A and B are shown apart, each in its own frame.
Chain A
Amino acid sequence: MPELPLQSNSSLAFEMVLTELADTVGECNVSTRPSDKLVYSTDWSWMPQMWLDKAMPPPSPDCIVRPGSPQEVAQVLQIANVYRMPVVPWGGGSGTQGGAAPIFGGILMDLKRLDKIVDINEYSLTVSAQAGVIGAVLEMALNERGLTLPHYPSSANAATVGGYVAARGSGVVSTKYGKAEDLVLSIQAVLPDGTIMRTPPVPSHASGPMLMNLFIGSEGTMGVITEATFQIERLPEARVFRAVLFDDLHNALDAGREIMLARLQPAVLRLYDEASTRSLVKRVLNLELDGAYLIMVFDGFPEIAEAQLARAMSICERLGARDLGPESAEHWWEHRYDFYYPPFSLSLPQMYGTIETVCRYDNIERLYRAKKAAIEGGFADWGARYIAHFSHWFPWGVMVYDRFIIDEPPFDPQEALQLHNRIWTAAARTSLANGGMLNEHHGIGFKLGRLMREQYGPAWPALDAIKHTLDPKGVMNPGKMGFSL
């Protein structure tokens, strides 16, 4: 078992660390400035944000380091190993589970200096980019050539290429094009001991296990992703839109299932439950509707997209949907990220969490209703609300993007954190009990780490052992993913 990491930032050893880091990445790329430490003390997760809101400083990094090459990343990791200092990789800081929060201090490694788009291959339709390239910037560069990386998460303006892969993210067209993990072909990564490695140049082969998969969704616990190659697409010739309204969620879910089982390949199937339709859709899209609101988008060649939509519409109509036409779906597409801008986004002092999960179609309605009951019934004293939409569909099942919201949480930060944890635990256990996972695309971070052993059962020690074999001194993002220290 490795020792606990060095944590003092006032020791002689820490001064040695700073000197060595400055020698590696340049003095201007090492910071201990208080305002820098303040901003890096929180990612996009509710817990540290709430602490800051209550004027309680959350744990902050001892220093922030900005390496400019994989070689510099490797040297920083070697220094961290010598001094047993935690290293927290930071891409865009847009994770919601605390994956980039420096809960044990240490070195916060901001990777945004790795900002080169290495290659755009228009013949094979691939793009290679360094880990610190912002998703939206990569997309702008691709769009200038009529290309796209069809990964459009709401965090694209902030998240980095490395974060896409390390957090196993999903975007609004994932139903057709897949999640980040489906789009990535190969990566360059730096192992915790400083070894720089590349995975095979193609993801599909029979030349051994998928080494790349160890890093996908690893949230910086297995090493540092420094470059990724993705498959890309030509921008679609057409997008066709349609919105429909179901009286209830049951038939709406069934319509989504049938569309997927018919392999109609919608780019977007976004189904809002009745509560979300009443609140979110009204607030952001200005639509007053009662029922379950479903948006469909098909893209590609116009004649094929139109035919797919026609088939999907016949399924919806058979299940009792009311056709709302294309306008509101187009409006949603144009404003699909508005939900995440203030004042539309959830914000403090509210308490909230995205407790989303994924399961097979035969479990989804039961799971949804069980979680709704667990939140609204279990935390009725706090007036907990539960809203959900179903936005990432697979050939075998669907994810439910569900959230809890408490408008007037406890004022005391400790009490608030305890309540937050209790709700998360109840939600996660309800997911597990109904065939779901802890999470589908927001990740684990330190928020859900405690439940990983419960989820994986007898398989967990194997995963934990792999982690400690790669990272025997435990420097990589300690306290995350539930790995033992």
Chain B
Amino acid sequence: MQIPDYTEIYNGDRYCLMCRHVCPVERVTKNEATSPHGWALLVASVQRGLVDWNAETVDTLYKCADCGLCRANCVTDRPLPAAIVAARASVVQGGAMPESVVQVDKLLLEHGTPYPVSTPQQGATYPVSTTKMGSIGLYVGAATAYKSPAGVEASHRLMQLAGYEPTALDIDRSGVYLPYTLGLWDTARMLAEETVRAIKDAGVSEVITLSNEDTHAFLHIYPQLGVALPEGLTVRQFSEWLWEMVEAGKLRLRPLELEGAVYHDACHTPRSPEGGIAARKLVKALTGHAPGEMFWRGRQAAPCGAVGGFEFTQPALAEALSRARVQEARQLGATAIITDDPQCASQLSLFAEGLPVINLVNLLAEQAEAADVWGLDT
């Protein structure tokens, strides 16, 4: 695959400091080398022969979270995240990638996922089937299936309660974001093509994603990889779809007491202008009030660490990002963190140390069972 030439981006951005304050990695490392201009300067310097790709410089390159914050906060919309990932792809092509990336690639090629396969919930709970009321696919992805089986089940249940029987997609197969962000573009393309085939086979016309990284992948990465989605296919995040069901009266929410929870915008939210809006509406509809807000939110929302393939390549950075997010919530006096992304909920839970982390979808589904008021509003 041809790697796009981002030389103008590296050269232009190497001395631009305008987005550094929103870079979540720089905020935890306090290191200019791991900031947007630092990565651009590094690649530009490699291009000039000032430094080469070695274990140390490659490690620095893989410290970018690929969270999209720099671009979302750039008034001239510079595609620096894509340029950094392209540099990683170039490193992979040159064979200089970190060993952790080699291992992920091996697992993806052999099993389609870097996570343990054949988890009990697969197959039995979410058979590939046709929909009852429209052709909707619930895009699960191996990461979400592995990290949040309860969240997947809750999502499925909510869709059924709204009167839909979705087709579950990619339970055993990794989403495209992981190999893409690690620079494994050939693997990413292969997975993307398999997913497109699965979508076509299922005959779905709308895909609902549980994790923001998958929404980002469908909307932005597939085109970059040159993989076309089926014509007319729409892709939406689950909270947006759920809110539409609530507004349409297809789902009823019984009030719930939930004081002091703050909302965590899922990773990649800055990439979507509508990101987090539907989820906040759902929280308000459920609790009667808007959730508390983090300092870093919306277009400047800090990721929780479930980004950039960090769990495989930079676990210490992933932890630092998670802890920073938890600390931010604690400083606000939060009683809980609430989010609509199962991967974020899973990641934050690892480091929340007594602070409850709530997957909004689970909460909605739990309330339905406890209150027993779910059903079609016909």
Contact = CB atoms under 8 A, between A and B. Distances in A.
A344 B30 CA distance: 28
A33 B55 CA distance: 11
Contact of B51 (A38, A92, A343): A38
A338 B17 contact: no
B33 A33 contact: yes
B42 A38 contact: yes
Nearest to A46: B15
Interface stretch (B18-26, B142-150, B163-171, B250-258): B18-26
A348 B7 CA distance: 13
Contacts of A55: 48-50
Interface in A34-92: 34-36, 38-40, 42, 44, 49, 52-53, 55, 57, 64, 66, 92
Given A35-B42, A66-B30, A342-B76, A337 B18 contact: yes
Interface string B45-68: 100111100001100100000000
A310 interface: no
A137 B27 CA distance: 11
- Which one of A34, A64, A92, A136 has the highest number of Cβ atoms from chain B below 10 Å of its Cβ? A34
Contact of B78 (A137, A140, A157, A342): A342
Interface in A77-123: 92-94, 110, 112-113, 115
A84 B42 CA distance: 31
B74 A341 contact: yes
B204 interface: no
- Which one of B19, B31, B44 has the highest number of Cβ atoms from chain A below 10 Å of its Cβ? B31
A396 interface: no
B86 interface: no
A55 B51 CA distance: 9
A335 interface: yes
Nearest to A54: B48
A127 interface: no
A57 B76 contact: no
Given A57-B50, A338-B76, A157 B33 contact: no
A342 B75 CA distance: 9
Contacts of A340: 16, 18
Contact of B17 (A57, A93, A115, A335): A93
A239 B56 CA distance: 50
Contacts of A115: 30
Contacts of A110: 30-32
B13 interface: yes
A34 B51 contact: yes
Given A157-B17, A347-B15, A39 B42 contact: yes
B15 A44 contact: yes
Nearest to A144: B295
B76 A38 contact: no
A112 B20 CA distance: 12
A157 B20 contact: yes
Interface string B82-113: 00000000000000000000000000000000
A335 B76 CA distance: 11
A469 interface: no
Interface in A20-36: 31, 33-36
A346 B36 CA distance: 19
A283 B15 CA distance: 21
A158 interface: yes
B163 to A, nearest CB: 42
List the 8 closest A-B pairs by CB distance, nearest first.
A158-B17, A342-B12, A55-B48, A112-B30, A35-B60, A134-B21, A39-B33, A36-B33
Interface of A: 31, 33-36, 38-40, 42, 44, 49, 52-53, 55, 57, 64, 66, 92-94, 110, 112-113, 115, 132, 134, 136-137, 140-141, 144, 155, 157-158, 335, 337-338, 340-345, 347-348
18 contacts: A34-B51, A35-B56, A38-B41, A39-B32, A39-B33, A39-B38, A39-B42, A42-B15, A44-B17, A134-B20, A140-B295, A141-B295, A144-B295, A157-B19, A335-B75, A338-B75, A347-B12, A348-B15
Given A33-B60, A93-B17, A110-B31, 20 more contacts: A35-B38, A35-B56, A35-B57, A36-B32, A38-B33, A52-B41, A52-B48, A64-B31, A92-B17, A110-B32, A144-B295, A155-B17, A157-B18, A340-B16, A341-B18, A341-B74, A341-B75, A342-B16, A342-B78, A343-B76
